[in-house]
Structure 1
């Protein structure tokens, strides 16, 4: 399994493929599906073989993974052998290909991988790459592999989630899907799919297929209610393709509760996804509600309860999904808070990837009234960046490969720092005009924060001058890499401050660099602000990895969270309010990669 994953990672990554798609002309995009079919032919799969698969194909901006998971559970609970292909994965790449709801085994993954890789490598002709004689990209390879697995396992139904878009997505190679579904649409991947909702709707509806008998329910498309502009485009595309089109009838969570239907994925938005799944699977069988309550889709509106700590985990990464996540979290967290007699502290752990509107996302999360906001990289541990050149594909555990060389650690830390500064800006916008942006007081620790002079030496590293568009950086002379950081100072009196120059004297809220150790800052923090008469503004801290953020947030409450790679540089001391809290609520959101790393620590046996 490990060798297979390592070789898979050597293929052109998702990030590189996305960059190519941004630059590709239409003619290049239009070759995507013919190339996919050529890959299949080179591995022994013909169009006739493809037509043997009975496919449910689902596109959309948000909720398509959940809709596929609901569909899988409904059909599985009625005795059908199901195949499910989704993306991305959370812990292990084999999660993307499931039989009867469970990831395929490591042995089966390795068997199919090497069989396909060998056939494709033997038939590779670099000079004819444009015709499909090259090695497929990472996602394309896995799509081909899913088809092979589902055919060999003789599944009754193959439920396929679109990767990006629809029209030119690698999953759009089925000529005869039984039914297609489109979940809620929104603005995402705009640099690939288009900047308007109409362009995105055109792309998503590209999975529609012509019906055998017009006017009947042959190979129909079912869509959830959409923005009027998007719906008009969908209607036009259905007429163009000659696909029967139906609009899903929605039921609210309240109506589902009245019918005594409980959803295994908890959120009001999931009611829409569940209703679409019901109507998709209705083309397979007489509808029953059995499968809905048993559906588990990790990392989506998932609640994990531990002693004195509750984790709320949701991989929301679009405006609409963040809105749904916020509504879900506030409702569930507020209900839980009312049930606890003691004090409750609320913490956000956030990161996001790509070119998403982070400031908008954080503004949406602001009403959740977090006591502390933590920002980190998508990396589980700091060990990888210190021992393996800082690239994400070199994982502490080779099984955990979800990052697939998306970025260097430095870029991710820069991203975390940017997210942190944006949160501070969003928080400052809520304070009174008299509140200073360069000096603030933590309402819990009474520590004053200021911007010190830059350019002074620190043991083990040098702080360089900051520029207008970025923070100061710490140069690590041993590792030869730049690590984003900020230095703050501790109050000496009510009116004066002094810059930190000796790491031995660093207060809890600072960058710490230990002499004799690699100068890898474990934490960059910025304490919270409260102006006179203003509302409470949450603290913000930045960590180099997920484990450090979780360890600080849980304060030893959760035995599963241990910072094993600690090098003698202590995490910031938590305020008494957190240490003594009766219960801690932690929302982890913004990125499925972040959620996957967190779940590796919280539920390491998830795929067993």
Structure 2
């Protein structure tokens, strides 16, 4: 490959994706797949020229949890950059919204296409040049997530950063990020039953997975948890010989801060981020003189995290506002609706103002419980309308139009290269099975909903076209489009609707 561009890198990376069957097996295992998950990742690391001990040089803050781990990482990164403006701070998260390089950030900005390609191909070449394998099960190249994790490690070590925040991909104990021998601090966000819980694990079993990121001699932090989860985390911190086990408590003044990320649930994530940043700075001999220093407040206010309770005014279609949230569990969808069905967001601040055309664009991964998701959305809408005294609104007519579309980017069946997904079963995609089931569930839940206003569509581009037509028909009345159920869906809407410049 002579050019070795970003596009070339993404094409090779897409070839490392797992198909639907492998991905479901990975989720069922909590990220483990086999007893060799961690040894294999260490082997790949060695093949590109690093030892696990080298990763300690990144000065890692390690974060896992079921809900809010990405937001917590974003808050933590922003706090450190505000408190230590002369530092260079790395952030590794997943998944991306529009471009893979979003996963690897330095000082808040994704790696450039040129830098991502550079580090990508340096890893690629080292794996080709060092193909001696210790474990028979180890493939020549790692799967997609592991490979991007290697690229992140290589980039961060090459750049000699002052701090790196690592978000766990799946689970914790067997995750590709869990080969750092001694992070500076490790934290666990809220525990719950997430979409990877296909085997019906208990909170205690999930806590055991998450608590696996605690390390000997390293402070182990967590937010308040269900008692069974808290007991397991406390035990794991002791078993793994953490230096201390800290349960975050309310920080005076934090609830008054206008957080950069919307939603009441973000207060807990921001609290953990403050604890993580404070613990990290103190470990680096940087004194923190109050519970909530001014620089921390500024970091919390400036934090940005695309696709999570995000309001985006359409830059070219001024009557349309997009409300983007990649919520994909029952609990996160509850938070999403709590945010959206609020005066000044999905509800007009003034009940007497002109009506809004509301649209729901929704999708969820094959095999997840669509009816439960949709039922939860409707129940939360009803609760929010009652809370805000909007007796003039009815849950059955809250949305004027609902759209269930596949996560395929374009109408011709193509994907934006960064959003290509082979994890969608071919039969499901061809027949729009999941989307048809969602539409059927909606009809059952809301029998009075007009059938012509329920759309089952094969691509995100089709969905955006429906919104554009609704705006045209509304004759300058506002259109509010809530996009949720999938971060891939949110990313596709940002791409197709031309929102990248204002949303990312």
Q: TM-score range by the shorter chain?
A: 0.7 to 0.9
- Distance in 2, matches of 1:583 and 1:257, equals 32
CA change 1:607–1:148 in 2 (3 A) is farther
Deviation at 1:337, TM superposition (A): 5.0
Give 1:303 shift: 0.1
Cα offset for 1:342? 1.4
Any idea what SS the aligned residue of 1:107 has?
Answer: helix
Instruction: Report the Cα offset of residue 94 of structure 1.
Output: 0.7
Mapped pair 1:105 → 2:1: no
Residue 134 (structure 1) shift: 3.1
Is contact 1:222–1:248 with CA below 8 Å preserved after alignment?
yes
Which residue does the alignment assign to 2:462? Answer: 548
- Choose 1 or 2 for highest CA Rg: 1
Q: Which structure's relative contact order is higher, taking Cα pairs within 8 Å and 6+ residues apart?
A: 2
**How far apart are residue 584 of structure 1 and its match?**
1.5
In structure 2, relative to structure 1, the CA distance for the partners of 1:551 and 1:321 (3 Å cut) is same
Which residues of structure 2 form unaligned runs of 5+?
1-5, 282-287, 382-397
Using the TM superposition, give the Cα deviation of residue 124 of structure 1 relative to its aligned residue in structure 2, in angstroms. Answer: 2.6
Structure 1 residues 13-412: aligned runs within 5 Å: 13=18, 15=20, 17-21=22-26, 29-78=34-83, 79=85, 80-125=87-132, 128-130=135-137, 132=138, 134-191=140-197, 195-211=201-217, 219-243=218-242, 244-250=244-250, 256=254, 258=256, 261-285=257-281, 286=288, 287=293, 288-306=296-314, 307-331=318-342, 332-333=344-345, 335-338=347-350, 341-367=353-379, 368=381, 369-383=398-412, 385=413, 395=415, 397-398=416-417, 401-407=418-424, 411-412=428-429
Matches within 5 A, 1:576-591: 579-580=474-475, 582-591=477-486
Q: Secondary structure at the match of 1:555?
A: helix
**How many residues are paired up?**
460
RMSD: 2.5
Higher mean C-alpha displacement, 345-354 vs 549-558: 549-558
Matched position secondary structure for 2:280? coil
Q: Structure 2 vs 1, CA of residues 340 and 68 (structure 1 numbering), >3 Å: closer, same or farther?
A: farther
SS at match of 2:324: strand
> SS where residue 279 of structure 2 aligns?
coil
TM-superposed CA distance for 1:335, in Å, is 4.7
Name structure 1 gaps, 5 residues minimum: 212-218, 386-393, 432-440, 443-525, 528-538, 559-577
Aligned residue runs from structure 1 range 423-572, under 5 A: 423-428=442-447, 442=450, 526-527=451-452, 539-555=453-469, 557=471
| C-alpha separation in 1, matches of 2:120 and 2:134 | 24
Q: 3-state DSSP class of the match of 1:373?
A: strand
> Is the Cα contact below 8 Å between 1:124 and 1:134 reproduced in 2?
yes
TM-score (norm 1): 0.71
Could you state the TM-score of these two structures normalised by the residue count of structure 2?
0.85
Instruction: Answer with 345-354 or 293-302: which moved more.
Output: 345-354
1:607 deviates by 8.7
Task: Tell me, in whole angstroms, the C-alpha distance in 1 between the residues paired with 2:279 and 2:461.
Answer: 45
- In the TM superposition, residue 410 of structure 1 has moved relative to its aligned partner by 5.2
The structural deviation recorded for 1:581 is 6.5
Higher helix share goes to which structure? 2
Kept in 1, the 8 Å contact 2:17–2:422? The answer is no
